[in-house]
């Protein structure tokens, strides 16, 4: 499937970056910042996963499942084949993984606690609709939403959607990563949501 078949128009392609893998050095540092509760049982999503380097790396951690989203079918397919071969060769039992060969704007964000990785995959034109989907899913999820943003160029767009930088790992040459978090709904909002659901179900609360 090529980008024409995916309905990816010219403007979106111009806003999208070419494949450059994340440096292991940044990945090691970024994952060290995360708490054990930040990874255990969460879903890991690499937005623009390329050849899957980050998914290989993330498979060492106790994520519930991993998803790679990538609109180049050649990259996506190669990543999937390599990851299966790697697991088999090393006899590893890893979290289940899925590859979605699609434009990130069309990705249906799971309503479950998640860590998202963005290695500067695209500019604001694609990032905004992607974040709108992430926020809509997060509103239905317990806990905060976590983003590792490698080589960030659009932190302001994340901030516009309620994310704050909680760790700055940018070096003097402007390379590195930041960790951003979008806080969980407060207890009151969560309770209201639960009461609303109970009322919808005809419960007397």
Ligand X SMILES: C[S@@+](CC[C@H](N)C(=O)[O-])C[C@H]1O[C@@H](n2cnc3c(N)ncnc32)[C@H](O)[C@@H]1O
Residues near ligand X (CB under 6 A) are: 12, 16-17, 19-22, 46, 48-50, 53-54, 69-72, 75, 103-104, 119-122, 126, 150
Q: How far is the CB of 49 from ligand X (least distance, A)?
A: 5
Nearer to ligand X, 49 or 180 (CB): 49
Which structure tokens are listed for 41?
Answer: 């049982």
Nearer to ligand X, 19 or 87 (CB): 19
Nearer to ligand X, 50 or 95 (CB): 50
Q: How far is the CB of 45 from ligand X (least distance, A)?
A: 10
Beta bridge partners of 181: 146, 164
Nearer to ligand X, 48 or 95 (CB): 48
- Which residue in the shown chain puts its C-beta closest to ligand X? 48
Using alpha carbons, select from 144, 143, 142 the residue that is nearest to residue 166.
Answer: 144
Residues 6+ apart with CB under 8 A from 138: 145, 182
Nearer to ligand X, 16 or 141 (CB): 16
Q: How far is the CB of 71 from ligand X (least distance, A)?
A: 4
Nearer to ligand X, 27 or 39 (CB): 27
Q: How far is the CB of 204 from ligand X (least distance, A)?
A: 47
Q: How far is the CB of 17 from ligand X (least distance, A)?
A: 5
Q: How far is the CB of 126 from ligand X (least distance, A)?
A: 5
């Amino acid at each position: 499937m090529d980008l024409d078949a995916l309905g990816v128009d010219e403007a979106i392609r111009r806003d999208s970056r070419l494949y450059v893998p994340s440096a292991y050095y940044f990945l090691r540092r970024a994952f060290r910042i995360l708490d054990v509760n930040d990874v255990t049982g969460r879903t890991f999503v690499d937005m623009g996963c390329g050849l899957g380097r980050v998914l290989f790396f993330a498979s060492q951690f106790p994520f519930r499942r991993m998803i790679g989203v990538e609109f180049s079918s050649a990259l996506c397919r190669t990543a999937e084949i390599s990851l299966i071969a790697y697991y088999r060769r090393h006899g590893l039992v890893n979290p289940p993984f899925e590859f979605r060969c699609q434009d990130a704007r069309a990705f249906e964000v799971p309503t479950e606690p998640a860590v998202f990785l963005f290695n500067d995959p695209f500019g604001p034109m694609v990032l905004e609709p992607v974040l709108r989907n992430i926020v809509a899913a997060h509103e239905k999820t317990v806990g905060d939403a976590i983003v590792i943003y490698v080589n960030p160029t659009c932190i302001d767009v994340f901030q516009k959607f309620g994310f704050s930088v909680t760790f700055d790992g940018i070096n003097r040459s402007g390379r590195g990563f930041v960790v951003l978090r979008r806080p969980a709904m407060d207890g009151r909002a969560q309770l209201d949501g639960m009461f609303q659901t109970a009322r919808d179900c005809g419960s007397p609360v």
